[in-house]
Amino acid sequence: MKKFWISCLAGIGLMTAWQTGSAHDLSNGVWQAKLHRKDGADIVFNFEVKDKAGKKVLYVLNATDKLLVDEVRIAGDSLFIKMPFFDSEFKAAFVSAGEVTGEWIRHLADKDVSIPFSARANTPERFPVKAQPSGNVTGRWESRFSDATGKSSDNLIGEFKQTGHTVHGTFLSPTGDYRFLDGVVDGDTLKLSTFDGSHAYLFTALVKGDSITAGRFYAGIGDHVEDWVAAKNNAAKLPDERTLATVKPGQEQLDFTFPDMNGKKVSIKDARFKNKVVVITLMGSWCPNCMDETGFLSDWYKKNKNRGVEVIGLAYERTPDFEKSRQSLQGFLRRFNVQYPVLITGVTPGDPQKGEKTLPQLTGIKGFPTTIFIDKKGKVKEVHTGFSGPGTGEHYAQFQSDFNRLITTLLEEK
């Protein structure tokens, strides 16, 4: 998940914009935005502009999700929008009333990548519709994705709810979900998209009764494309999340020490964690599912920390550099007001030896987030790979129920 620079953002033009003040403004209301891929498959999303505490903010809209973006700056005819997570931003210019063009930039560990971007005011539609839907995709769909070589990726389960033309839903995978997908059925054509500062996805396909065919999945800034098909199957299931990674026999006690955000070494063997139930989350500031889990855990910890429970975050950032990792995590943790310790492992998520280097007691790290539950005797009781976030509806509700039930069971153990 790739440069198109607006000349007015550079040099003297930018200085002049600062000196003369705002010559343009973001009008309140819903905008339609597009990320313009080279292959012509625009990734479409919407955002709503509002006034808040005397300044402009916007909410990125995906189905029922409203992601607050409060770092919005206007300088002359230039617009700067910094996303709250995933180290990405928009740099754009007003080209006419209610229209901006520019680029979306992602700051990766070793380079920046970008894609042209445009947005138009007073355009609440995501995708235009021209024909009545010929089918209804509400239900559970067993889905198969494959790349240009025909190689299949993990089988996914699509869960959609259609009302009239409008479709909301997500794809469930063994390691998490694709968060909030939003779109339409136009005639026999399904279109779904999402954008959150990391995920930038477009799905298209044809709907024919209980089959979805000729699907195309466009991901992000580059040229990544996959084919996909699906068949309705309300009994479709994913592998048990507790079986993808487990603790090795006879190695039920973890042993790790990593620096926290201030550089202080923290160990699982510290007195703070002794005789307590401990939840360990393997996460990263680059990971949308980790964002959802962090939001849940942060709120949950504030309400439950006096019950004899602790939470530890182990961060796997895209660089082994401590200071760069700390900077990437700061805004992420601040947004959720995280009060439990988050430790920086110094190991990247792409390192094939990440499990051996950080938690050799596990059979491996299969995905992010991974959540480890430790009992009051310091032994690993369960390892859960992935996270079913709020975009999964009833699965998120079931997750919360199961989570609380397991914690209560562990607390009641003698």
CATH of 7-120, one of 2.40.128, 3.30.450, 3.40.50, 2.40.10: 2.40.128
* pLDDT, tens digit (0-9, with 9 covering 90-100), for 293-324: 999 999 999 999 999 999 999 999 999 999 99
The count of residues in the chain is 414
* pLDDT, tens digit (0-9, with 9 covering 90-100), for 327-341: 999 989 999 999 999
Coil vs helix vs strand at 290: helix
What top-level class would CATH report for the domain 139-232?
Answer: mainly beta
Q: What is the dihedral of CA 195, 200, 205, 209, to 10 degrees?
A: -40
CATH fold group of domain 257-412: Glutaredoxin (3.40.30)
* pLDDT, tens digit (0-9, with 9 covering 90-100), for 238-279: 888 888 899 999 999 999 999 999 999 999 999 999 999 999
* pLDDT, tens digit (0-9, with 9 covering 90-100), for 63-82: 999 999 999 999 989 999 99
The two structure tokens encoding residue 317 = 């950032």
* pLDDT, tens digit (0-9, with 9 covering 90-100), for 102-156: 999 998 878 899 999 999 999 999 999 999 999 999 999 999 999 877 777 668 9
Domains 7-120 and 139-232 share a fold: yes
- The three-point CA angle 137-33-146 to 5° equals 45
What's the chain's average pLDDT? 91
Question: Is residue 17 pLDDT above 70, yes or no?
Answer: no
Amino acid letter, 189: T
* pLDDT, tens digit (0-9, with 9 covering 90-100), for 86-101: 989 999 999 988 999 9
User: For a pLDDT cut of 90, what percent of the chain falls above it?
Assistant: 83
Q: Where are the domains of the chain?
A: 7-120, 139-232, 257-412
Instruction: Supply the pLDDT for residue 283.
Output: 97
130's torsion region: left (phi>0), alpha (psi -120 to 50) or beta? alpha
Question: Is residue 11 pLDDT above 60, yes or no?
Answer: no
Question: Is residue 383 pLDDT above 90, yes or no?
Answer: yes
pLDDT band (50, 70, 90) for residue 363: very high
Question: Is residue 12 pLDDT above 70, yes or no?
Answer: no
CB 106 within 8 A of CB 89: no
